[in-house]
Chain A
Amino acid sequence: MNLELVTLLGKKVDQEVYEVIIPTADGEIAVFPGHEPLVGIAVPGAIVIRKNKGDNDDKLDYYAISGGVVEISQKYVRVLVDEAADGDDIVEVETKAALDRAIKMRDTAKNQVELEKAHELVDRHMVRLKVAGLRRRHRRP
């Protein structure tokens, strides 16, 4: 089945895959070829991709996504998200620092606008950190 990961900055993924795990409002769903047609909401989290049937867990691809929409049919999966970061591109140390900054910002927010912005940032960096963690766990040499 073909997977398309479409973001504002272009298509991040457009290839044949065997399995894809998508975080949705009602929990994570794993999609295999021949899945029943479904249109749903994706929430911030990690998209996990297994390209070939026999691939081990250390060959999985990870993407940190913000919220979006998923469109699943028998033949393809399309994920429309605002932002997607490749697990390989996320630098764990930097993300951790960014998360700390966001948490500090949340704790010292002076008004509602700042607070909401800080919450968003915290969520965003948490997701990225989680993705980086997942990747490291499976790819340890």
Chain B
Amino acid sequence: MASTQQLKSRIRSVKSTKQITKAMQMVAASKMRRAQESVKASEDYTNTANELLTFFASQGVTDRHPFFQERTVKSRLLIVIAGDKGLAGAYNSNIAKTYINELRDDKKNNIHTKSIAVGRKASQYAVRLNHTDILGVYENLPDKPGANELQAILDTAIAQFESGVVDAVDVIYTKFISGMNQQVTVKRILPAGFDETDVSDDVVNAVYEPNAEEVLRAVSYRLVLAQIFQALLDARASEHSMRMMAMKNATDNASELADDLTLEMNKARQGAITQELAEISGGVEALSE
């Protein structure tokens, strides 16, 4: 049995670890709340873009636009979104697993794959792989990303797609379903798709300025932007909620360990006292004889 001194110092170290994990849990919880709020806020944007595109589709202009053209996929671009930091449970490794599976499928089907990595963990992983060309690496995006930060990613993706270098653009990210449930998702953003919604009659006879093509381009561009943005926000919310869970488990484990160690220490201390008493009474016995 370990000495009481050793046990004492172990308990101290477990307790200070617990304090750290507890703090990380709180931070992740508040960040998750904020991320969830921005996911909600950006929905208005996506809905509006969807509505406009439904309207365009009803006018038959979307078919002509390059963003909407389906081609047989001979090469594709993967945008992989993971975190900048670890300690978030299986968050980063789930993304990596899906990423590898996608690459393996592409290899089997003779599809050439290019990648853009978002987040330090994604880039560390992607650069070690052989079957993919890395087009760009984006690390340490701010907690509240704006359109500015995404412009570069979006412009690369669109340029690659329009010039015909890639035939499709997919995003791999973790979809935030609820605080307990997050799922790695592969979402196609180009060729662009949109959800059909109701269009108000007010705009049916609208005039285009300067012309339908340019307006359509502006709207589709924004829809794709919104989709990447939302994927990023979802990924953020998932990361924080998974980190929160991981840290909660760590905190619980630390408490349990500290309790066990305290019990053991008490036992050791009691054992030492009992032994001492036995020795004393043994001594007294010996003297009295």
Our pick among B44, B151, B210, B229 for the contact of A26 (Cβ within 8 Å) is B210
* A14 and chain B: residue at smallest CB distance: B44
Quick one: CB contact mask for A22-57 with B, threshold 8 Å, 1 for yes?
001110000000001111110000000000000000
A10 touches B215 (CB 8 A): no
Chain B residues within 8 Å of chain A by Cβ, number: 34
Does B129 make an interface contact (CB < 8 A)?
A: no
Q: Cβ of B209: which chain A residues have Cβ within 8 Å of it? A: 24-26, 38-41
If A6-B44, A24-B209 touch, whether A71 touches B38 (CB-CB below 8 Å) is no
Chain B contacts to A: CB under 8 angstroms: 38, 40-42, 44-45, 48-49, 52, 55, 144, 146-148, 151-152, 200, 202-210, 214-215, 218-219, 222, 225-226, 229
Does A9 make an interface contact (CB < 8 A)?
A: yes
Cα distance, A25 to B210, chains bound together (Å):
7
Does A76 make an interface contact (CB < 8 A)?
A: yes
B222 touches A69 (CB 8 A): yes
The B-contacting residues of A in range 1-29, CB under 8 angstroms, are 4, 6-11, 24-26
Our pick among B148, B151, B208 for the contact of A39 (Cβ within 8 Å) is B208
* B208 and chain A: residue at smallest CB distance: A39
* A76 and chain B: residue at smallest CB distance: B202
Chain A residues within 8 Å of chain B by Cβ, number: 33
Cα distance, A74 to B52, chains bound together (Å):
16
If A73-B202, A75-B202 touch, whether A6 touches B48 (CB-CB below 8 Å) is yes
A10 touches B44 (CB 8 A): yes
Q: Cβ of A39: which chain B residues have Cβ within 8 Å of it? A: 52, 55, 203, 206-209, 215
Q: Cβ of A69: which chain B residues have Cβ within 8 Å of it? A: 52, 215, 218-219, 222
Quick one: CB contact mask for A71-87 with B, threshold 8 Å, 1 for yes?
11111101010110000
| Nearest Cβ on chain B to A23's Cβ, whole angstroms | 13
